[in-house]
Amino acid sequence: MLLNVIKGAYPSLQQISQDLLISAEDSAKLERGSCLVQNTTVSGSDTLTTWKVAGATDQATATPVFFSLHGADDYQTKMAGTLSSSGGYAPRVSALSCTQAMEIETDMFSGDGIKAGDYLMVGADGKLVKHTSGNTAVLKVTKGPYTRWSNNMDATGASAGFRQGANVEVVRGLTVFLPKLVTA
Over residues 29-75, the pLDDT tens digits come to 899 999 999 988 887 888 888 999 999 899 888 889 999 999 877 87
Largest CA distance in the chain: 54
Quick one: pLDDT at residue 162?
A: 53
With vertex at residue 77, the alpha carbon angle to CA 76 and CA 79, rounded to the nearest 5 degrees, is 65
Quick one: pLDDT at residue 11?
A: 87
Please state whether the predicted TM-score (pTM) of the whole model is above 0.75. Answer: yes
Side chain identity at residue 108, one-letter code? M
CB distance 82 to 24 below 8 Å: no
Quick one: pLDDT at residue 76?
A: 79
Please give the torsion angle defined by the CA atoms of residues 180, 35, 25 and 28, in that order, rounded to the nearest 10 degrees: 150
Which tens digit of pLDDT belongs to each residue from 153-176? 555 555 555 556 788 999 999 999
> How does the average pLDDT of the chain come out, rounded?
87
Look at 81-85, 110-114, 119-123 and tell me which has the smallest mean pLDDT.
81-85
Which tens digit of pLDDT belongs to each residue from 20-31? 998 777 888 899
CA distance 90 to 95: 15
